[in-house]
Amino acid sequence: MDYFKQTLKTDCEDLLARFQATASVRFEEFSAIWREMKFSSIFYGILEPSEKKVFTRLVLSAASQYLLPPYSFQIRVGGLYLLYSLYTSQFNVPKERIRIALKDWDELIRFQQDAVNAQHYDVVYILKKLLSEQAVCFTAMPDTLSFQVKKKRVDRRQQLCESFVDRPTRPQELIGTDLLEELANVHEHYEGLKKAILPRPPQSNLSLVKPNLVPKLRSAVLTFCSWQQNQAEFGSPSDGDAGEGTSSQAHDESSRRAQLLASIKSRSYAQAVEASRSRRHRQIELTSAAQDSESTRQIPRFRKPPSLKMRTSSRFTAEGSENGGLQRTTRLWRLTAVEGEKTEEKKKRRFIWKERMRSEH
Amino acid sequence: MAEGGDTNAVNENVPVYEHVGVNSKPFHLGSFRDLWLSVLKPEDYSFNETSGEIEDAQFIEELGITPQTLEELKTICSPDSLRCHAEDETPDPDLVPANPQLATLKLRKRRLDYKKTLIRDIVGRHDMFSNELEMLSLGRRAEDASDTVPEGEIILTFNIMYPVLFVRFRHVRAYQTLHVLGSQKLTELRDAICCVSDLQVFGEFSNTPDMVPQFISKDHYKSAFFFFEGIFYNDMRFPECRDISTVTRDWAKTRGFPEFNTAKMEEATFSDLRMKVGYPYLYCHQGDCEHVLILTDVRLVHKDDCLDRKLYPLLSHKHRVMTRKCCACHLYISRWITTNDTLAPMDPCLYCDQCFRLLHYDQHGNKRGDFQAYAYVDPGAFN
Ligand SMILES: [Zn+2]
Ligand SMILES: [Zn+2]
């Protein structure tokens, strides 16, 4: 059954991309796309009853990842609608349920609160409906696990759909006017304290504190912001509204919604992936953004540092390249093997049952 | 720069991945259940349905909307809005529609078309069987109300692997799947695991084929243990039980491993355990018959589950093993195994009960020729 994983991902993301293009969170928009794609027929053509169950579990599991961060609020709404639609369209009796892990529950409640605050009644209604129909299975982990180490490692790489994720807004959010004001106060106070502990009035050329800290910080954030906008203009395909023939009133309505959505998006992002990236990493991103916006795009985000062995050997050869003789004599206590000196033993020996059995007889 | 709000410490009993997609970190199963119950409303996991009117009223009040708005929502979000065909059409759900657009359907069509080209279509007997198993237990309610599984109970799913029995089948991971309740004792799971090594009868019976004792290994050697998260849970229910984990623990001690603890299997319930989901553990019985055990799932019980406590541990999957047939009739499952048998085409040789007696004994029950005979239990005997 696992061979459907990739195609299910393709189908779900196709549907959600179309939903994203509507720039709406209305269920009408979603169900129109669902009908247009004839998505209900995804359950057609399965003959074995047990296969129906397994397939339903698989498709629900494929869809449920879009319900959670780091995906944007709109995609998460799409994910919720998708789960609801799949749940209601399945043929199983009793119905296969949507698995929610305990660790994701808080996230779902926050999502519901955001929807309530923004008065997205259809989102709240569907969420409540799923719960009251007991369509949710309260579990320990999102999927059942059976220690399939090798299999999972392959498909872990291609999981996140980048275009469904909001751009990071954490720096802008964190460094708002309030914070800058506060920081300016603290900074002033700090400078005053430093001056106070000096025995005599300081000379003008002695800098006690970093001057212009607040303006510098502000400009750094602004640079990051504009760099991000440039990136977006070049990078992403145009998010044209697909609103064909919408009346002016509806358009007004949707733009009001878009504003609301934007505020929610920024809020819902507050609990998103950012936590996994270290602060230090973000600092690097900020400064490099200020220096050169083009080159940063080419640099892979996570570059694997060279191994200890590599670093040792490169340092060793760089520092002591002139006395090669010395290297040869010191080989005994050296902990690493020199490049090109690999022996055949390096080849991994595999345990072969057949040989083992033969040797026993 | 303290961030307000996010002050609650991460609870270690909220299961999270240790290795993404492979297994979770260890957590206490009982506390995990309590955490779920603390964040849910009782009606979320109740076995009784709340009436629709009450729910509607709640929804209207919570969101401050008019009943008209709710009616509108109901129409917009109704399952009818998801129907992909005209109202007067009824497409056959057993057929992949012509010219499918979805990638999944294209793939399914390709696979179905390919399957048709095969001469032999193996409709797995096993699939039918596992389906039967699930149908048996679905929505079962206890006859006696006191046997009903309580609301908010947890169900654990274990996959129990069989040791490799034949070199031939080593790539087939034979296993059975059992569901147990959090309040059940570890011994209840042990008693539900069926394994041929429990059924062996020891001794040579060529002179007295009618005198094969009814005692099987299970009755002779009652010791067994589970190994979960560094603790050996020994079965000590009977006076003849011994702590067979001693050998392993002593060995580990001499090798500088940290000390392992022991506990009694009959005194621990699953809710008392700390375990990882998706991580291999061990069940050992008959001295050296070792089964890898994986807790694949933990979840709250649902009204559609089997709610009769007495039916747990509940079997939902059982691997079918090829049975070995009698070498004479090739029809019946073997019951005897002989060695040094001059009448046999091979050594050792398997016979069903009838062929064994007809071939090896005369009408007075006297042994013909010299051979040894042992009772044989086929691994497929549980099928
Ligand atoms: Zn066994
Ligand atoms: Zn026979």
pLDDT in tens, B347-360: 888 888 888 888 88
What is the pLDDT at residue B132?
54
Nearest chain B residue to A85 by CA: give it: B82
The answer to whether residue A149 neighbours chain B at the CB level (below 8 Å) is yes
Question: Regarding beta strands B349-351 and B336-339, do their DSSP bridges make them parallel or antiparallel, or are they unpaired?
Answer: antiparallel
Distance B206 CA to ligand 2 centre (A): 17
What is the pLDDT at residue A238?
38
Question: Which tokens belong to A78?
Answer: 């799409």
Give this prediction's pTM.
0.70
What is the pLDDT at residue A336?
39
pLDDT(A357) > 90: no
Question: Regarding beta strands B261-264 and B231-234, do their DSSP bridges make them parallel or antiparallel, or are they unpaired?
Answer: parallel
Quick check: helix, strand or coil at residue B6? coil
Q: Which of A14, A6, A30, A28 is nearest to A250 (CA)?
A: A28
What is the pLDDT at residue B133?
60
User: Could you identify the residue written with the tokens 């059940």?
Assistant: B184
The answer to whether residue A139 neighbours chain B at the CB level (below 8 Å) is yes
Lowest mean pLDDT among A32-41, A55-64, A114-123, B241-250: B241-250
What is the pLDDT at residue B232?
93
Nearest chain B residue to A115 by CA: give it: B63
Average pLDDT of chain A?
71
**Contact between B102 and A131 using a beta-carbon 8 Å cutoff:** no
CA distance A311 to A304: 13
**Contact between B24 and A89 using a beta-carbon 8 Å cutoff:** no
The answer to whether residue B9 neighbours chain A at the CB level (below 8 Å) is no
Domain boundaries, chain B: 148-202+212-318, 322-382
**Residue of higher predicted confidence among B320 and B225:** B225
Q: Is the ipTM of this complex over 0.90?
A: no
What is the pLDDT at residue A233?
59
Confidence class for position A271, pLDDT limits 50, 70, 90: very low
Which is it for the CA torsion A12, A14, A18, A20, positive or negative?
A: positive
The answer to whether residue A179 neighbours chain B at the CB level (below 8 Å) is yes
User: Could you identify the residue written with the tokens 């009694």?
Assistant: B264
Q: For residue B362, give Cα distances in angstroms to B36, B345, B359, B366, B369.
A: 69, 19, 8, 5, 11
- What percentage of chain A reaches a pLDDT higher than 90? 29
pLDDT tens across A150-197, in order? 665 555 545 677 778 876 666 777 777 788 888 888 988 888 888 888
What is the pLDDT at residue B190?
92
Question: What value does the mean pLDDT take over residues A53-62?
Answer: 92
CA distance A262 to A269: 11
CA distance B321 to A66: 40
**Residue of higher predicted confidence among B26 and A328:** B26
The answer to whether residue B83 neighbours chain A at the CB level (below 8 Å) is yes
What is the pLDDT at residue B272?
94
- Helix spans in chain A (H): 5-21, 27-36, 49-64, 73-89, 102-117, 121-132, 149-156, 170-174, 177-197, 213-235, 248-269, 279-291, 293-298, 308-319, 324-329, 353-360
CA distance A82 to A66: 9
Distance B193 CA to ligand 1 centre (A): 8
What is the pLDDT at residue B257?
85
* A269: exposed, middle or buried (Cβ count in 10 Å: 0-12, 13-18, 19+): buried
**Contact between A156 and B21 using a beta-carbon 8 Å cutoff:** yes
The answer to whether residue B20 neighbours chain A at the CB level (below 8 Å) is yes
What is the pLDDT at residue B117?
75
Q: Are A132 and B86 in contact (CB under 8 A)?
A: no
**Contact between A11 and B103 using a beta-carbon 8 Å cutoff:** yes
The answer to whether residue A148 neighbours chain B at the CB level (below 8 Å) is yes
Q: Which of B318, B376, B377, B320 is nearest to B193 (CA)?
A: B318
pLDDT(A290) > 90: no
**Residue of higher predicted confidence among B222 and A96:** A96
B82 phi/psi in degrees, rounded to 5: -100, 0
Question: Which tokens belong to A52?
Answer: 């129906």
What is the pLDDT at residue A354?
54
What is the pLDDT at residue B335?
85
Nearest chain A residue to B94 by CA: give it: A45
Q: Which of B222, B221, B205, B225 is nearest to B213 (CA)?
A: B205
Question: Which tokens belong to B131?
Answer: 């389906």
What is the pLDDT at residue A160?
75
CA distance B88 to B90: 7
Residues in B 239-298 with any Cβ partner in A closer than 8 A:
277-280, 294, 296-298
Provide the phi-psi class of B132: left if phi over 0, else alpha when psi is between -120 and 50, else beta. alpha
What is the pLDDT at residue B204?
79
The answer to whether residue B310 neighbours chain A at the CB level (below 8 Å) is no
pLDDT(A68) > 80: yes
pLDDT tens across B98-155, in order? 888 898 898 988 888 887 777 554 444 444 455 556 656 666 777 788 889 999 999 9
pLDDT(A7) > 60: yes
Q: Which of B153, B110, B171 is nearest to B271 (CA)?
A: B153
Quick check: helix, strand or coil at residue A240? coil
**Residue of higher predicted confidence among B289 and A250:** B289
User: Could you identify the residue written with the tokens 């003789």?
Assistant: A325
Nearest chain A residue to B294 by CA: give it: A146
Q: Which of A43, A5, A50 is nearest to B123 (CA)?
A: A50
Average pLDDT of chain B?
83
* B222: exposed, middle or buried (Cβ count in 10 Å: 0-12, 13-18, 19+): middle
* Chain A residues inside the 8 Å CB shell of B84: 34-35, 38-41
A213: closest CA of chain B, how far (Å): 16
Q: Are B91 and B97 in contact (CB under 8 A)?
A: yes
Q: Strands (DSSP E) along chain B, which ranges? A: 17-19, 23-24, 27-28, 154-161, 175-181, 224-228, 231-234, 261-264, 274-275, 280-285, 289-300, 314-318, 336-339, 349-351, 372-375
Single-letter residue type at A54: V
What is the pLDDT at residue A330?
37
What is the pLDDT at residue A169?
67
CA distance B161 to B147: 30
DSSP bridge partners of B233:
B226, B263
End-to-end Cα distance, chain B: 65
Lowest mean pLDDT among A63-72, A251-260, A275-284: A275-284
Single-letter residue type at A123: V
User: Could you identify the residue written with the tokens 């409540």?
Assistant: A128
Q: DSSP assignment of B12-65, as one string?
A: TTS--EEETTTEEPPEEHHHHHHHHHHHS-HHHH-SSPPPHHHHHHHHHHHHT-
pLDDT tens across A206-237, in order? 677 777 888 888 888 888 878 777 766 554 44
Confidence class for position B20, pLDDT limits 50, 70, 90: confident
* B99: exposed, middle or buried (Cβ count in 10 Å: 0-12, 13-18, 19+): exposed
Confidence class for position B180, pLDDT limits 50, 70, 90: very high
Q: Are B281 and B293 in contact (CB under 8 A)?
A: yes
- What percentage of chain B reaches a pLDDT higher than 90? 26
Q: What is the CATH number of domain B148-202+212-318?
A: 3.10.290
pLDDT(A137) > 90: yes
Confidence class for position A141, pLDDT limits 50, 70, 90: very high
Q: For residue A105, give Cα distances in angstroms to A67, B100, B342.
A: 11, 36, 70
Q: Are B315 and B305 in contact (CB under 8 A)?
A: no
